[in-house]
Amino acid sequence: MQINVWLVLLHNTALGMAHPDSVVRNAFGDPYYYNLCPSAPEARAYAIGLAKDVTETYPVAGISLEAPGFTPYAHGYHHEFALLQSNPWLENMLGLCFCEHCIAGAELMGIDARRLKAQVAADIAHYFDSDVDFPTDMADAFWRADIVSDGDLRRLLDYRSGVVTALVAEIRATVRADATVAVIPSVARPTGGAWYEGSDLKALAEATGIVEACFYEPSAARVAADLFDIKRRLRGNGTLRAILRPSYPDLASKGEFLDAVAALRGWRC
């Protein structure tokens, strides 16, 4: 029997609290202890070392890398109370990392990261000081508009993808050559939202050869739609493997589960 190990890389609260200089920090400088920053040298060394150790110490056939990037703000780590109504614009702004490692790396790419950090903090503070609540659909549109209108924000998001792709590629180059390396790219639903975490699906497939997508959807039709989009983004690169949760709140019936499996098998993941 072959064994594949599922490794959670950078979502690690205990290590984050022990190494606060290596965690994601928002525009206000607040640390997110649950997310080691993939731009931080020590966090990268830990992720690479963990993958290398597992493949060299144990006779595993391969590893699956979960959480190689920037975990979204809404994911959290332990019973947080925001005490305010949230929305996609606010969550995405709060999820941007402006730690010194990200700022330094972004500046090397020609991004005015310190200006962007100040602007993001000011925009969030102005929103908090107002009596406005963004409806979900409007907040999502506002976020997309910010990406289009602010070149530094757009380039920062691209920078994040480069950081994560490079980390995964280094892991692939470091671990035992005959061990497979797959990437679980995102906690986003649908998977197309993985870009926010720095997961460029096509680039990750090119770096490792395997993408493992979490089809955590409540119907076979939604699984099929997500699959269609992922295959379109991969453009024929790499192998796609599927992860399902055959239980509530995803696939609540045996019939829906079997239909989802049939949809996935039909696309030859």
What average pLDDT values come out for the chain (269 residues) when binned by 10 residues?
96 96 98 97 98 97 98 77 87 97 98 98 97 97 97 98 98 98 93 96 97 95 96 95 91 93 82
Q: CB neighbours (10 Å) of residue 33?
A: 19
pLDDT given at position 269: 52
Run of H or E including 33: strand 31-36
pLDDT given at position 159: 98
pLDDT given at position 116: 98
- 8-state DSSP, 180: E
DSSP for 211-250, written as a single string: EEEE---SSHHHHHHHHHHHHHHHTT-SEEEEE---STTT
Beta partners for residue 212, in sequence order: 241
pLDDT given at position 252: 87
pTM, 2 dp: 0.94
The three-class DSSP label of residue 34 is strand
Task: Say how far apart CA 18 and CA 46 lie, in whole Å.
Answer: 13
Run of H or E including 31: strand 31-36
